[in-house]
Structure 1
Amino acid sequence: MKSVPRRKCAACKIVVHTPCIEQLEKINFRCKPSFRESGSRNVREPTFVRHHWVHRRRQDGKCRHCGKGFQQKFTFHSKEIVAISCSWCKQAYHSKVSCFMLQQIEEPCSLGAHAAVVIPPTWILRARRPQNTLKASKKKKRASFKRKSSKKGPEEGRWRPFIIRPTPSPLMKPLLVFVNPKSGGNQGAKIIQSFLWYLNPRQVFDLSQGGPKEALEMYRKVHNLRILACGGDGTVGWILSTLDQLRLKPPPPVAILPLGTGNDLARTLNWGGGYTDEPVSKILSHVEEGNVVQLDRWDLRAEPNPEAGPEEREEGATDRLPLDVFNNYFSLGFDAHVTLEFHESREANPEKFNSRFRNKMFYAGTAFSDFLMGSSKDLAKHIRVVCDGTDLTPKIQDLKPQCIVFLNIPRYCAGTMPWGHPGEHHDFEPQRHDDGYLEVIGFTMTSLAALQVGGHGERLTQCREVVLTTSKAIPVQVDGEPCKLTASRIRIALRNQATMVQKAKRRSATPLHSDQQPVPEQLRIQVSRVSMHDYDALHYDKEQLKEASVPLGTVVVPGDSDLELCRAHIERLQQEPEGAGAMSPTCQKLSPKWCFLDATTASRFYRIDRAQEHLNYVTEIAQDEIYILDPELLGASARPDLPTPTSPLPTSPCSPTPRSLPGNAAPPKGEELVEAAKRNDFCKLQELHQAGGDLMHRDGQSRTLLHHAVSTGSKEVVRYLLDHAPQEILDAVEENGETCLHQAAALGQRTICHYIVEAGASLMKTDQQGDTPRQRAEKAQDTELAAYLENRQHYQMVQREDQETAV
């Protein structure tokens, strides 16, 4: 069929041509049902869910019946069905009678490993729109004479398309997922697809499509409800404020998937400083198993300072705070001024702030320029602070801080601990997020600088109520939302407590079951590290990534160690003298940004955030060997056991024995390699390579040897380059932004495209016109090649994100 628009269902991963949708409706083929129809007959239907079986051309894992894997063909015309799997429980079988029986089609579905958090479609009824009949109007008229005070708001009386009729169960913890697609460099837009696959689509909500209020109203009667907020701390505050408005009793606890920039509340509740690549299935398990805790929330009331004259009002200042409640902190001075400049720049140029790293770099630059200008050095002269009736102004004037923070949680400014570590609180009570007290901290420029390396601010007091008076316009921020506030009197008092979900430690160090091996007193573990290049290419293939790892040394740790303790032992490897367990003297040192990899609890490797290391035991993520990711480690070239351009290479018919360079002979020039690739001279190219030629050579237009081999259509040269050149050659671009795959697709070279794709080239890269290789094939009117590339592009995205399969 000619290339036509396609649609893909994120909930069941069915892909269909748009014109074919009508044919599916004629044969009554449906996506996985997310609700049931209302009506007298349907209400009495059984409350179990049936499997939603779908034929798959591609499937990971093993057959539930025979335990064997699924063989898959990746040819252009292959339409072979290799598996049949359920979109709900993810069970998969070979598509043959010996593994899958017809009677299984009507069997009830268990909803899979996350059944406790999935909202079954049997709970959700589609409501019929009320008709304006004469009978209905008489009922309304009769009801209007009843003098009954209604507690419902104006929005509760309006018609809603769905009604929730839950069947409570003590084992269930139904989950609502709210995703902010704009948070953290647009990570939310990607992760929402995974949640639609694992859960009922009716329990996953995009916050850019109207906010959380309507969904929370619809599910307000569901027992034991939990909420997952996917976004930054601002997203969490938005959901908590909506819960306050709706007054749900009991309020559902809120878990966090951190997608923002700072994520201080997420760090406090053990959810980490940012989402990397943890499988969504693991996140759902953590939400289900998490502990319910309380979080203080504080009221902010600001009114103009009557003692300040009109001359104190500055241009651009406001008399209203951006928020009237805070969960993390309220601050004024230097840090608020930096945040305000960041906020104004992002509003003016949003396209420049599309990644967490870039945001942090802007913060750092703004902070440095602000430090040089000394914009907040006179802060103490223009404020008066009274805490629980005690005037702290003299103490503040002696300190001369440039920033004052009223802190509710231990974390601040992307993970620092401004109150200090728990063992340092000699004159105060330990800091908690549920004790009804605020910590008041002052910062000079010296203590602000020391904050990033483990220092803390000047601890002023702990209090329940604050009255803050300013005599001029001062930058302030409320949970990261800044403004320049006119001279005001601000009152801070406890508002209420929110119910949150705190991520729990995976298990105790003792075995859970009698048949498990007891935890030994000491563990002797081999440490191997992985480069970022190898991780990006192979993290979905455990065995290949293990082979690509580089041994670092051996550590001996207590059997019940968590990863924080293990980190200290690994870092000591670099200081130990050469001997047993020490690093090799030629081994590249660890960079400060290394992190642990979980190699056991999921179907692929994934990174463990440093803020969550205390939640994971060594025995949970490793067996005999522990793997770490070092982003600054060199790729395959760092491994001594891999072939280099001057190491012996496999022989070929062209050259029975590898040639070596004469004593002082110079390696071949790059122009000779280019000419060999252009002339399709395979033997000459191999000879030049074995004589020391660089296969990564580029000509004046930045074209690699692979670009030249593709342009001449030389399959033999292409295979040789793919086998022997570094992996970087696959996605290398020339001056116009084209990769070799763009070029092969534009020329309609199907076999060469297949070689390059199977070697691991990215199908998502775009050229200067914004075209992917698939779109280049479409422009060349090669619809079969375009269909193949689209299929492989989808497969590549799924393989690297959630390891699921598509039709």
Structure 2
Amino acid sequence: MQERARHPGSRSAPVLALAVRGAPQQAPRSTPTPTEDTPRARENPSRFSQAQRPASHRSRRLSPGVRREVPDPALPASRPWAQEPGRLNFGRNPERPQEPREEGSHRMAEGPGGGGPRRDGAGGGGAAEEVVRRRCWRGEEAEVSQPWPEGPRGMAAGPPVEERFRQMHLRKQVSYRKAITKSGLQHLAPPPPAPGAPCSEPERHIRSTVDWSESATYGEHIWFETNVSGDFCYVGEQYCVAKMLKSVSRRKCAACKIVVHTPCIEQLEKINFRCKPSFRESGSRNVREPTFVRHHWVHRRRQDGKCRHCGKGFQQKFTFHSKEIVAISCSWCKQAYHSKVSCFMLQQIEEPCSLGVHAAVVIPPTWILRARRPQNTLKASKKKKRASFKRKSSKKGPEEGRWRPFIIRPTPSPLMKPLLVFVNPKSGGNQGAKIIQSFLWYLNPRQVFDLSQGGPKEALEMYRKVHNLRILACGGDGTVGWILSTLDQLRLKPSPPVAILPLGTGNDLARTLNWGGGYTDEPVSKILSHVEEGNVVQLDRWDLHAEPNPEAGPEERDEGATDRLPLDVFNNYFSLGFDAHVTLEFHESREANPEKFNSRFRNKMFYAGTAFSDFLTGSSKDLAKHIRVVCDGTDLTPKIQDLKPQCIVFLNIPRYCAGTMPWGHPGEHHDFEPQRHDDGYLEVIGFTMTSLAALQVGGHGERLTQCREVVLTTSKAIPVQVDGEPCKLTASRIHIALRNQATMVQKVKRRSATPLHSDQQPVPEQLQIQVSRVSMHDYEALHYDKEQLKEASVPVGTVVVPGDSDLELCRAHIERLQQEPEGAGAKSLTYQKLSPKWCFLDATTASRFYRIDRAQEHLNYVTEIAQDEIYILDPELLGASARPDLPTPTSPLPTSPCSPTPRSLPGDAVPPKGEELVEAAKRNDFCKLQELHQAGGDLMHRDDRSRTLLHHAVSTGSKEVVRYLLDHAPAEILDAVEENGETCLHQAAALGQRTICHYIVEAGASLMKTDQQGDTPRQRAEKAQDTELAAYLENRQHYQMIQREDQETAV
């Protein structure tokens, strides 16, 4: 079956051919084959049969769609280039200039690429054309591939019947080959092989990183292991070698998002499909000639969004396991079309690609050239000898004079902000490794770098001449400091601004620049937009110079101390005392036993335990006796000795210790100025144990001074830390002074809802928005399906906010909505109160829902993430949360088994008995308990042994019931005791139920209550021989003690 569309400028030339590879085609009528002795045959030797043609004109079949020329034995053996097989173009090189003395024809690839849709789903995309050439005796190239003869005479001398049927399929593509040839795409041919390159292409291994060597393959895929079982192998059924096998590993290309079986990767060459090109060859004499990028078309069986031509969605009968090609999309600009002639036309093959919405930050492959290694000729060696004395006096470093396989030739544009992305895969667990794949999809793979593969220096050196360059550092604050120090070494002028994608925890610098405290699931596309639109700001960087203190006596020396700091520059803070001691112990323990610190929960527990033990021993209480601090010539030692701090911090940014603000807002104190990260001043702060505890609940430390220079002298070995890197420094004299200012990118508040035209309606003065919340269970299961997630949401109520309000202000209105009594102002429609950990969901920016970090709420307007309804995510909301009874014009939907029955009228209401609630809690019947509660049941009911419902839920280990009771029952249930004096926390600790203990402690239960035997919950866990749970309860108990002491001190 064959479908055709006519070229706009031609009457009869068919430009798009669809044929199912491998299907039997009707053979054309055979014609007599001319003999070798006839005059007609001598005039047209190309009409010879294969058996009758001269040896120099023979060709043999390799695979469907690919021919390779048989070497001519008559050619001299001294010319190996004449004996090499015909070079095959498996990829597109749109920048290759047309060279004289070359001929060639282009043919539509048999796979689904290059713009021609196909039904079997194989190959295509960037390898849209195949060029089969042969290097001839005169150095010219000519196509010599000829079809096998038809008819009985041809069968006697030709290949088997299967080969002839495949050739029939190729003949159906001849018209499309002519159309592409006429369209002026001859420059798509790749350049000739470099001198000295082997004739046959070597067997390549599967790559998972970008190849920067001189042997890099053009259009090479970047494979990652995947478990996508719903996608068929991209090579199609004919070439899939693993279609009959089970449990075959699959791999997905991060740059073009095709999925193939691992054994089928080699089959991609047979269907001529390569990845989107990331560089071009330097074969042209003028490397700065204007070039453009062509589309990289890939066939898709599943596609989101709508067709760019007709505006309709990509629908298919069966979402999973569908063999039908529904769309053709470009890996660069992400445009997609229906896989039919009416939507996708020949013009898309020729059109230059715009590189999509992120074209301003994408580095085009035309900027990246693969350089040829210079040849050491005799003439060149003489010139080197003459100029040798000049090189001795040259100031170029070893990096500048070293040959590199790739060079960057940018085309400056004031509208472009090219981006380099550096990802630390070790940050944030496995977040770094996953985020790399997303950037490879949106950007050029050669602008994304894995810092574990050699650091940032090579990449920054290579891109140093790119105008208006920006950098995105994906990692923690240490990763950002690494990149800033490398920029200092290279002395780039001007220094490119650095944006931050925070991974892991902490990230105080990222919080300061509005990038948040960590990465949740924000779309990479929106992150790139923020990097492009961010403001350029300055960040002070400070020099640290330490030298031994000559006045310290030998008795003060410590064998475990060092006289060198871990870093000589800091961006965030430099501290000594209590916090440095805790960090140092954790660092040393992790280095000694790394296998014990592979859990974030265990790490936090160790931090808490170390902090408490240091608090008890008072190892830092005499800090003021062993230091002398002089700031801008003023001696602060007497003031510090009066304060008796256990920790002193020299702070450069407002954030410290995972988001706290120790300097606070000294608006009422005229002696101090508000803190800034670009004013050239350091803030010196002292902490007592009380102020450290108050820091976690919004307090601040003791403000000592703001200064430009510090001289710190210690008389004994003291733990210190520089931007989180600890060490025990011997008695030293430390000098702190301003080093320079780094250029950073600060995330700004976007106004996507701002009217773009004067005729548009302005933002209203007030917005009335319905608030609906989503459970974590529904979010994880449905966040890629907007409509289903909206249906699963539960209405909370309606709020009225100003039209230009941000999410921070909207949060205050929503929380006030939960506190208002019935009948007041806004209507609250839900029965379950919001947990303290709820966050906003963006339902409009991307194709799916995603969370918004609470630290970035002031950067987002309400109108930016919502229209008539705003959605929030409540991680502690139960998955089967019930909708309240709302009057709707439609008939009621069928309810699930866990959905509550509608409430009866007040006059008919009969509250359920307490025994029914107890039985539901004992049987772990969550649905029944929820139904009884909403029918008026009392959650504070006790049985004859004074056991509450929470006691029964803990004894059965029902986490779901426990969470429901904690959310809905009064707070008194937490510390309610049964007849033997046990609280529910005692019981959970004795049973070793760690998760339930965590729920109860976080809800606010007391850890200092004792039972009739005088045991606390921690002691009950110790008796149960659960040491980890006992350590956790001990830590939380001490935290409660410190909080209580701090509250008493404040009073």
| TM-score relative to the length of structure 2 | 0.61
Other structure's SS at 1:805 match: helix
Choose which of 467, 476, 491 in structure 1 pairs with 2:735.
491
Change (3 A) 1:491 1:69: same
Change (3 A) 1:216 1:422: farther
Choose which of 508, 525, 532 in structure 2 pairs with 1:288.
532
**What is the CA distance between 1:608 and its match in structure 2?**
1.0
Tell me what 1:362 maps to. 606
**What is the CA distance between 1:804 and its match in structure 2?**
55
Change (3 A) 1:724 1:233: closer
Partner Cα distance (1:58, 1:763) in 2: 54
Partner Cα distance (2:1033, 2:593) in 1: 35
Matched, 1:524 2:768: yes
Residues 451-496 of structure 1: CA deviation (Å, up to 9, x unaligned): 1111100100000000001111111110111111111110000000
Contact 1:172 1:224 in 2 (8 A): yes
**What is the CA distance between 1:424 and its match in structure 2?**
4.7
Partner Cα distance (1:757, 1:600) in 2: 37
Residues 720-757 of structure 1: CA deviation (Å, up to 9, x unaligned): 99999999999999999999999999999999999999
Larger RCO (CA under 8 A, 6+ residues apart): 1
Contact 1:83 1:95 in 2 (8 A): yes
Change (3 A) 1:343 1:670: farther
Matched, 1:26 2:295: no
Other structure's SS at 1:482 match: strand
**What is the CA distance between 1:513 and its match in structure 2?**
3.1
**What is the CA distance between 1:582 and its match in structure 2?**
4.7
Matched, 1:41 2:296: no
Contact 1:291 1:502 in 2 (8 A): yes
Partner Cα distance (1:667, 1:598) in 2: 40
Contact 2:945 2:978 in 1 (8 A): yes
Tell me what 1:168 maps to. 412
Partner Cα distance (2:1003, 2:730) in 1: 61
Partner Cα distance (2:779, 2:1044) in 1: 11
Choose which of 692, 698, 702 in structure 2 pairs with 1:458.
702
Residues 686-720 of structure 1: CA deviation (Å, up to 9, x unaligned): 99999999999999999999999999999999999
Contact 2:924 2:958 in 1 (8 A): yes
Partner Cα distance (2:423, 2:478) in 1: 12
Q: What are the residue-to-residue correspondences of 1:43-192 with 2, within 5 Å?
A: 43=287, 46-72=290-316, 78-146=322-390, 149-192=393-436
Residues 377-423 of structure 1: CA deviation (Å, up to 9, x unaligned): 11111111000111000000000001000000011111111001263
Other structure's SS at 1:361 match: helix
Matched, 1:534 2:778: yes
Change (3 A) 1:171 1:681: closer
Other structure's SS at 2:710 match: strand
Q: After the TM superposition, which of the residue ranges 220-229 and 736-745 deviates more from structure 2? A: 736-745
Structure 1, unpaired ranges of 5+: none
**What is the CA distance between 1:122 and its match in structure 2?**
0.1
Partner Cα distance (2:271, 2:785) in 1: 39
Partner Cα distance (2:782, 2:485) in 1: 42
Partner Cα distance (1:373, 1:733) in 2: 35
> Which of structure 1's runs of 4+ aligned residues deviate more than 6 A?
641-807
Q: After the TM superposition, which of the residue ranges 519-528 and 653-662 deviates more from structure 2? A: 653-662
**What is the CA distance between 1:131 and its match in structure 2?**
3.1
Contact 1:645 1:694 in 2 (8 A): no
Partner Cα distance (1:405, 1:334) in 2: 10
Change (3 A) 1:735 1:298: farther
Change (3 A) 1:328 1:132: same
Tell me what 2:255 maps to. 11
Other structure's SS at 1:718 match: helix
**What is the CA distance between 1:802 and its match in structure 2?**
45
Matched, 1:346 2:617: no
**What is the CA distance between 1:315 and its match in structure 2?**
3.5
Structure 2, unpaired ranges of 5+: 1-244
Partner Cα distance (2:826, 2:256) in 1: 50
Change (3 A) 1:668 1:457: closer
Other structure's SS at 2:399 match: coil
Partner Cα distance (1:32, 1:737) in 2: 70
Contact 1:76 1:785 in 2 (8 A): no
Partner Cα distance (1:473, 1:801) in 2: 31
Other structure's SS at 2:357 match: helix
**What is the CA distance between 1:156 and its match in structure 2?**
2.3
Tell me what 2:834 maps to. 590
Partner Cα distance (2:417, 2:564) in 1: 39
Change (3 A) 1:384 1:336: same
Change (3 A) 1:545 1:421: farther
Contact 1:271 1:503 in 2 (8 A): yes
**What is the CA distance between 1:624 and its match in structure 2?**
1.7
**What is the CA distance between 1:622 and its match in structure 2?**
1.4
Residues 518-555 of structure 1: CA deviation (Å, up to 9, x unaligned): 12222222222111111111111122112111111222
Partner Cα distance (1:802, 1:48) in 2: 66
Contact 2:690 2:1046 in 1 (8 A): no
Q: What percent of counterpart residues are identical?
A: 97
Work out the number of aligned pairs and report it. 807
Other structure's SS at 1:366 match: helix
**What is the CA distance between 1:142 and its match in structure 2?**
2.4
Change (3 A) 1:394 1:746: closer
Contact 1:540 1:800 in 2 (8 A): no
Q: After the TM superposition, which of the residue ranges 546-555 and 637-646 deviates more from structure 2? A: 637-646
Residues 248-268 of structure 1: CA deviation (Å, up to 9, x unaligned): 000000000010321110011
Change (3 A) 1:685 1:557: closer
Partner Cα distance (1:288, 1:760) in 2: 44
Which of the pair has more CA radius of gyration? 2
**What is the CA distance between 1:583 and its match in structure 2?**
6.0
**What is the CA distance between 1:9 and its match in structure 2?**
1.6
**What is the CA distance between 1:159 and its match in structure 2?**
1.8
Change (3 A) 1:42 1:737: farther
Other structure's SS at 1:417 match: coil
Q: After the TM superposition, which of the residue ranges 123-132 and 580-589 deviates more from structure 2? A: 580-589
Partner Cα distance (1:428, 1:449) in 2: 23
Contact 1:185 1:355 in 2 (8 A): no
Residues 142-163 of structure 1: CA deviation (Å, up to 9, x unaligned): 2214366322211222221110
Change (3 A) 1:125 1:667: farther
Other structure's SS at 1:492 match: strand
Tell me what 1:675 maps to. 919
Q: After the TM superposition, which of the residue ranges 643-652 and 764-773 deviates more from structure 2? A: 764-773
Contact 1:13 1:805 in 2 (8 A): no
**What is the CA distance between 1:73 and its match in structure 2?**
5.6
Partner Cα distance (1:793, 1:517) in 2: 57
Change (3 A) 1:200 1:724: farther
Partner Cα distance (2:315, 2:1045) in 1: 21
Q: After the TM superposition, which of the residue ranges 467-476 and 286-295 deviates more from structure 2? A: 467-476
Contact 2:623 2:647 in 1 (8 A): yes
Tell me what 2:149 maps to. none
Partner Cα distance (1:802, 1:53) in 2: 64
Q: After the TM superposition, which of the residue ranges 360-369 and 745-754 deviates more from structure 2? A: 745-754
Other structure's SS at 1:114 match: coil
Change (3 A) 1:602 1:647: closer
Partner Cα distance (2:339, 2:1028) in 1: 25
Q: After the TM superposition, which of the residue ranges 444-453 and 165-174 deviates more from structure 2? A: 444-453
**What is the CA distance between 1:10 and its match in structure 2?**
0.5
Partner Cα distance (1:749, 1:200) in 2: 49
Other structure's SS at 1:574 match: helix
Partner Cα distance (2:975, 2:493) in 1: 55
Contact 2:302 2:319 in 1 (8 A): no
Partner Cα distance (2:1025, 2:323) in 1: 21
Change (3 A) 1:322 1:678: closer
**What is the CA distance between 1:684 and its match in structure 2?**
21
Change (3 A) 1:516 1:739: farther
**What is the CA distance between 1:761 and its match in structure 2?**
35
**What is the CA distance between 1:199 and its match in structure 2?**
0.1
Q: After the TM superposition, which of the residue ranges 645-654 and 470-479 deviates more from structure 2? A: 645-654
Change (3 A) 1:456 1:723: closer
Residues 39-78 of structure 1: CA deviation (Å, up to 9, x unaligned): 2258376411000001111111111111111124658864
Q: After the TM superposition, which of the residue ranges 117-126 and 347-356 deviates more from structure 2? A: 347-356
Contact 1:578 1:585 in 2 (8 A): no
Residues 608-633 of structure 1: CA deviation (Å, up to 9, x unaligned): 11111111111211112211111111
Q: After the TM superposition, which of the residue ranges 245-254 and 67-76 deviates more from structure 2? A: 67-76
Contact 2:878 2:964 in 1 (8 A): no
Q: What are the residue-to-residue correspondences of 1:132-531 with 2, within 5 Å?
A: 132-146=376-390, 149-350=393-594, 353=597, 359-421=603-665, 423-507=667-751, 511-531=755-775
